[in-house]
């Protein structure tokens, strides 16, 4: 102790938080991170912009319309929610190949109980979610307790759930959904006023939460980023949210159409709420911290007294449950459930979304909003490609190439990160 | 050292007649081992001499077969790593101890996060991590919020040691902390080890490096094929004697008796 009493207030706190020196220094620090291989959301955001420009130039009349923008969000929502679930499993360095059919099975349970047994919709939703929990628990027991690689276990579930789904749906092939509450999610919009209110809540909430964090650090006399950096972030988010809400609040039917369609689709606040809740869980609770620890170094986590098997179990359950939520969104969007609801295509899109967003397949790296940014890229491709070419062969090849590109960007940034020690 | 000169001779940890077998292999035979507070006790011995087994028993990873353990004057039994932690015994492993994808603060509080309600109290953790590192005069870290993957070997070892100190620990066991380090980094870690002892902790240093031993140790315990050849004051012996103790179990009139050493050696 005697050696340290005359030390100045800890010298390494100087660089604790990037951006103390204001905007210039913050952007410099950000550039350093990019160069060091820590790309964050950059590839996904760039991808969105480039793809939007490409499709906008190729198909200005059909792609760049308010109608299509709303479509895009509806198409992307289920993929984003599925990808959020996968982020938990990918963070562990595991994979859930069955998530697509878990979504389909959940949707089938929902449709059967709603339409054929006339259950109340909250009960049906609960039954579907419980199915998700059960599937996740079963996978987790096999992976975390028995030690079978998740690839094999979930491949088996991929096949088995496909069968289960067929049996649940039965001979008819397609079960229609007529429940208003379920259909509202994907087919109805918020009123214009409510849309603006939503925008204000999102922006205000973000601004308040981040400002509160700065205040707390300041009170604890820890270094804080300059207020201009905070303001820039709030303004950037605000601009994106306000422009999106403004676009969605435009009348998006063709001129002289008999009904008016405008407003933010109800699925947007639903997905936003999921992002907020799950991000909070991942970034602000010890459970979330333990997920990162297990994904980063399971042995270190075990020695630190973390119940590795329990953490894995919780992640697989979360993944399967969120997959069922995605399945409900798909059912709402299609107004029905069929054996093609969810499935392999949706799963691959979702894995692609998570990876494009920046989540590592090797575990330990990833954030919930990766699912959103990556999901947007995937949704833009899924939405724009059919406008450009009708040939599904070309669409599949381009989808494959985009996923490879994303994985390559991830691998290159990993190598850079290893070289620069980040 | 200081505590010794103040007459504080009572042992922090004392092991008497410890035996441990894995199946037919008798790994530890009647081992006695003492650690005093405010001192660095070096635990040396060749590969397979039983160093790791001994500290794993102290850490609660393996149970002893027989023998007694006295900690701070009272006899204790340890049933698991949590028991050891609760007593204030912390082990710093040579590797596998930190998560690369988490920052310094997160690693130091891993598994024992400070929370307010259900929310992690990041400011409190950062403050306490900073204070602990400051109390150890650690100056080599650029930032408390940098990921551990960006740290050098010495810095990682520093973080691992600081994590052990964070919990008001009384006994810190370091398993070859300098094995993978360069000259300057070894120097830093050894200074840190010395400072731990100066702060009043009992420190056990497992090492193969005689320079390290004579630079920081107050007491040297030599294991030879599962037996404690001798535990001696560092100032009473020289390099050659310690190496003889490690390789032959005896040196001059210290160590195992000739017959005993020969008997063990031929097993």
Domain boundaries along the sequence of chain A: 37-187+286-420, 189-264
Give the nearest partner residue to A12 out of B119, B141, B198, using CB atoms: B141
Give the nearest partner residue to A421 out of B110, B111, B150, using CB atoms: B150
Residues 217-236, chain A: which have Cβ within 8 Å of B? 217, 219-220, 222
Which pLDDT band, with edges at 50, 70 and 90, does A405 fall under?
Answer: confident
The CATH architecture one would assign to domain A37-187+286-420 is Orthogonal Bundle (1.10)
Q: Which of A4, A221, A360 to mutate to test the interface with B (most CBs of B within 10 A)?
A: A4
Q: Is the pTM of this model over 0.95?
A: no
> Measuring CA to CA, which residue among A379, A312, A308, A299 is closest to residue A346?
A379
Q: Which of A279, A293, A298 to mutate to test the interface with B (most CBs of B within 10 A)?
A: A293
CA–CA dist A32, A44 (Å, integer): 19
A286/B113 Cβ within 8 A: yes
Q: Is the pLDDT of residue A193 over 90?
A: yes
State mean pLDDT over A388-398: 84
State mean pLDDT over A385-389: 84
A417/B149 Cβ within 8 A: yes
Pairing state between β B40-45 and B25-35: unpaired
Residues of chain B with Cβ-Cβ distance to A417 below 8 Å are: 149
Count of residues in chain A? 422
Pairing state between β B13-22 and B66-71: antiparallel
The answer, for A118 touching chain B at a CB cutoff of 8 Å, is no
Q: Helix or strand or coil: residue B38? A: coil
Which pLDDT band, with edges at 50, 70 and 90, does A200 fall under?
Answer: very high
State which residue of chain A sits closest to B130, comparing Cα positions: A10
pLDDT tens track for A120-172 = 999 999 999 999 999 999 999 999 999 999 999 999 999 999 999 999 998 77
Residues of chain B with Cβ-Cβ distance to A296 below 8 Å are: 99-102
C-beta of residue A402 within 8 angstroms of C-beta of residue A16 = no
So what's the pLDDT on residue A421? Answer: 56
A100 to chain B, closest Cα gap in Å:
29
C-beta of residue B259 within 8 angstroms of C-beta of residue B249 = no
Q: Helix or strand or coil: residue B193? A: helix
3-state SS of chain A is: CCCCCCCCCCHHHHHCCCCCCCHHHHHHHHHHHHHCCCCCCHHHHHHHHHHHHHHHHHCCCCCCCHHHHHHHHHHHHHHHHHHHHHHHHHHCCCCCCCHHHHHHHHHHHHHHHHHHCCCCHHHHHHHHHHHHHHHHHHHHHHHHHCCCCHHHHHHHHHHHHHHHHHHHHCCCCCEECCCHHHHHHHHCECCHHHHHHHHHHHHHHHHHHHHHHHHHHHHCCCCCCCHHHHHHHHHHHHHHHHHHHHHHCCCCCCCCCCCCCCCCECHHHHHHHHHHHHHHHHHHCHHHHHHHHHHHCHHHHHHCCCCHHHHHHHHHHHHHHHHHHHHHHHHHHHCEECCCCCHHHHHHHHHHHHHHHCCCCCCCCCCHHHHHHHHHHHHHHHHHHHHHCCCHHHHHHHHHHHHHHHHHHHHHHHHHHHHHCC
Out of A217-221, A302-306, B207-211, B219-223, give the one with best mean pLDDT: B219-223
Could you give phi then psi for residue A336, rounded to 5 degrees?
A: -165, 170
Which pLDDT band, with edges at 50, 70 and 90, does A7 fall under?
Answer: very low
> What's the burial of A85, exposed, middle or buried (CB within 10 Å: 0-12/13-18/19+)?
buried
Residues of chain B with Cβ-Cβ distance to A93 below 8 Å are: none
Block means of pLDDT (10 residues each) for chain B, length 267 residues? 47 91 90 92 90 88 88 88 86 81 91 88 90 82 84 85 86 88 85 89 91 92 90 90 88 75 56
Extract the tokens encoding A354: 């998570």
State which residue of chain B sits closest to A36, comparing Cα positions: B150
Which pLDDT band, with edges at 50, 70 and 90, does A420 fall under?
Answer: low
A290 to chain B, closest Cα gap in Å:
7
- Cβ atoms within 10 A of the Cβ of A191, count? 12
Which pLDDT band, with edges at 50, 70 and 90, does A16 fall under?
Answer: very low
A289/B143 Cβ within 8 A: no
- In chain A, the percentage of residues whose pLDDT exceeds 90 is 52
Q: List helix spans (H) across B166-232.
A: 183-198, 210-216
A304/B151 Cβ within 8 A: no
A328-331 long-range contacts, Cβ below 8 Å, gap at least 24? A328/A106, A328/A107, A328/A110, A328/A125, A328/A128, A328/A182, A328/A185, A329/A77, A329/A78, A329/A81, A329/A185, A329/A186, A329/A267, A330/A78, A330/A103, A330/A104, A330/A107, A331/A107, A331/A110, A331/A111, A331/A177, A331/A182
The answer, for A1 touching chain B at a CB cutoff of 8 Å, is yes
A300/B99 Cβ within 8 A: yes
Domains belonging to chain B, first-starting first, are 2-98+170-266 (3.40.50.300)
Q: Is the pLDDT of residue A287 over 60?
A: yes
A289/B81 Cβ within 8 A: no
> Measuring CA to CA, which residue among B40, B43, B39 is closest to residue B58?
B43
A420/B150 Cβ within 8 A: yes
Residues of chain A with Cβ-Cβ distance to B124 below 8 Å are: 220
Mean pLDDT, all residues of chain A: 87
Residues of chain B with Cβ-Cβ distance to A290 below 8 Å are: 111
Query: Which of A391 and A289 is assigned the larger pLDDT?
Result: A289
Q: Is the pLDDT of residue A246 over 70?
A: yes
C-beta of residue B165 within 8 angstroms of C-beta of residue B83 = no
State mean pLDDT over A202-228: 89
B111/A290 Cβ within 8 A: yes
CA–CA dist B135, B143 (Å, integer): 16
Extract the tokens encoding B248: 């032959």
Could you give phi then psi for residue B178, rounded to 5 degrees?
A: -110, 5
Extract the tokens encoding A366: 């990833």
A217/B143 Cβ within 8 A: no
The answer, for B99 touching chain A at a CB cutoff of 8 Å, is yes
The answer, for B88 touching chain A at a CB cutoff of 8 Å, is no
The answer, for A5 touching chain B at a CB cutoff of 8 Å, is no
Could you give phi then psi for residue A16, rounded to 5 degrees?
A: -55, -45
Q: Is the pLDDT of residue A224 over 70?
A: yes
Give the nearest partner residue to B96 out of A299, A305, A420, using CB atoms: A299
Residues of chain A with Cβ-Cβ distance to B113 below 8 Å are: 286, 289
B127/A11 Cβ within 8 A: no
CA–CA dist B203, B193 (Å, integer): 8
Whether the complex's predicted ipTM is more than 0.85 is answered with no
Q: Is the pLDDT of residue A275 over 90?
A: yes
B194 to chain A, closest Cα gap in Å:
12
pLDDT tens track for A77-109 = 999 999 999 999 999 999 999 999 999 999 999
Lowest mean pLDDT among A61-70, A162-171, A236-245: A61-70
A285/B101 Cβ within 8 A: no
Q: Is the pLDDT of residue A342 over 60?
A: yes
Residues of chain B with Cβ-Cβ distance to A295 below 8 Å are: 101
B142 to chain A, closest Cα gap in Å:
5
A7/B99 Cβ within 8 A: no
So what's the pLDDT on residue B264? Answer: 60
So what's the pLDDT on residue A19? Answer: 56
Extract the tokens encoding A99: 């998530």
Question: Helices (H) and strands (E) in chain B — how many of each?
Answer: 10, 14
State which residue of chain A sits closest to B124, comparing Cα positions: A220
The answer, for A365 touching chain B at a CB cutoff of 8 Å, is yes
Residues of chain A with Cβ-Cβ distance to B106 below 8 Å are: 289, 292-293
CA–CA dist A18, A22 (Å, integer): 9
A290/B112 Cβ within 8 A: no
The distance of Cα A317 from the centroid of its chain, to the nearest Å, equals 16
So what's the pLDDT on residue A12? Answer: 44
CA–CA dist B183, B154 (Å, integer): 10
């Amino acid at each position: 102790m005697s050696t340290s009493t005359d030390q100045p207030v800890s010298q390494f706190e100087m660089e604790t938080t990037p951006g103390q020196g204001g905007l210039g220094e913050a952007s410099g620090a950000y550039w350093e991170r990019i160069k060091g291989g820590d790309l964050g959301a950059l590839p996904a955001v760039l991808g969105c912009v480039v793809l939007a420009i490409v499709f906008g130039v190729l198909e200005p009349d059909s792609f760049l319309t308010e109608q299509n923008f709303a479509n895009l969000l509806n198409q992307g929502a289920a993929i984003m929610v599925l990808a959020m679930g996968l982020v938990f499993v990918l963070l562990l360095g595991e994979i859930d190949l069955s998530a697509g059919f878990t979504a389909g099975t959940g949707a089938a349970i929902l449709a059967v109980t709603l339409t054929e047994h006339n259950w109340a919709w909250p009960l049906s939703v609960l039954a579907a979610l419980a199915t998700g929990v059960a599937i996740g628990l079963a996978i987790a027991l096999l992976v975390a307790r028995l030690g079978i690689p998740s690839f094999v276990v979930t491949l088996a579930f991929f096949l088995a759930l496909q069968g289960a789904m067929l049996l649940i749906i039965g001979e008819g092939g397609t079960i229609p959904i007529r429940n208003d509450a379920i259909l509202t999610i994907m087919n109805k919009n918020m009123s214009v006023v409510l849309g603006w209110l939503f925008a204000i809540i999102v922006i205000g909430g973000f601004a308040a939460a981040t400002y509160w964090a700065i205040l707390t650090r300041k009170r604890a006399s820890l270094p804080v980023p300059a207020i201009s950096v905070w303001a820039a972030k709030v303004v950037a988010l605000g601009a994106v949210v306000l422009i999106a809400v403004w676009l969605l609040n435009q009348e998006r039917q063709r001129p002289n159409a008999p009904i008016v369609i405008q407003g933010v689709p109800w699925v947007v606040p639903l997905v936003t709420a999921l992002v907020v809740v799950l991000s909070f869980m991942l970034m602000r609770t010890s459970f979330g911290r333990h997920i990162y620890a297990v994904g980063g170094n399971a042995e270190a986590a075990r020695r630190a007294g973390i119940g590795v098997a329990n953490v894995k179990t919780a992640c697989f359950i979360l993944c399967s449950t969120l997959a069922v939520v995605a399945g409900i969104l798909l059912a709402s969007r299609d107004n029905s459930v069929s054996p093609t609801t969810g499935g392999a295509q949706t799963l691959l899109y979702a894995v692609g979304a998570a990876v494009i967003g920046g989540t590592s397949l090797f575990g330990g790296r990833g954030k919930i909003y990766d699912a959103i940014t990556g999901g947007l890229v995937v949704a833009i491709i899924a939405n724009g490609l059919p406008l450009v070419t009708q040939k599904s062969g070309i669409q599949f090849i381009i989808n494959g190439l985009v996923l490879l590109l994303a994985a390559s960007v991830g691998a290159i940034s990993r190598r850079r990160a290893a070289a620069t020690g980040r | 050292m200081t505590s010794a000169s103040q007459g504080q001779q009572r042992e922090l940890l004392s092991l008497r007649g410890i035996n441990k077998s894995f199946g037919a292999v008798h790994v530890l035979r009647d081992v006695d081992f003492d650690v005093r507070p405010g001192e660095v006790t070096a635990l040396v011995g060749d590969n397979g001499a039983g160093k790791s087994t001994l500290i794993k028993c102290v850490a609660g990873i393996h149970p002893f077969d027989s023998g007694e353990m006295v900690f701070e004057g009272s006899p204790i039994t340890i049933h698991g790593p949590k028991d050891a932690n609760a007593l204030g015994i912390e082990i710093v492993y040579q590797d596998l101890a930190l998560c690369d994808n988490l920052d310094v603060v997160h690693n130091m509080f891993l598994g024992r996060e400070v929370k307010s309600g259900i929310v992690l109290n990041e400011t409190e953790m950062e403050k306490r991590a900073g204070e602990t590192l400051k109390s150890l005069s650690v100056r080599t870290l650029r930032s408390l919020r940098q990921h551990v993957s960006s740290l050098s070997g010495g810095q990682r070892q520093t973080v691992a040691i600081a994590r052990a100190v964070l919990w008001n620990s009384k006994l810190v066991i370091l398993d070859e902390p300098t094995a993978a380090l360069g000259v300057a980094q070894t120097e830093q870690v050894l200074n840190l080890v010395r400072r731990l002892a100066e702060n009043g902790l009992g420190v056990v240093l497992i090492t193969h490096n005689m320079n390290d031993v004579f630079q920081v140790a107050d007491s040297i315990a030599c294991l030879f094929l599962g037996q404690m050849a001798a535990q001696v004051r560092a100032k009473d012996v020289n390099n050659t004697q310690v190496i003889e103790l490690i390789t032959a179990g005896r040196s001059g009139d210290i160590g195992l008796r000739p017959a005993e050493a020969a008997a063990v050696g031929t097993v």
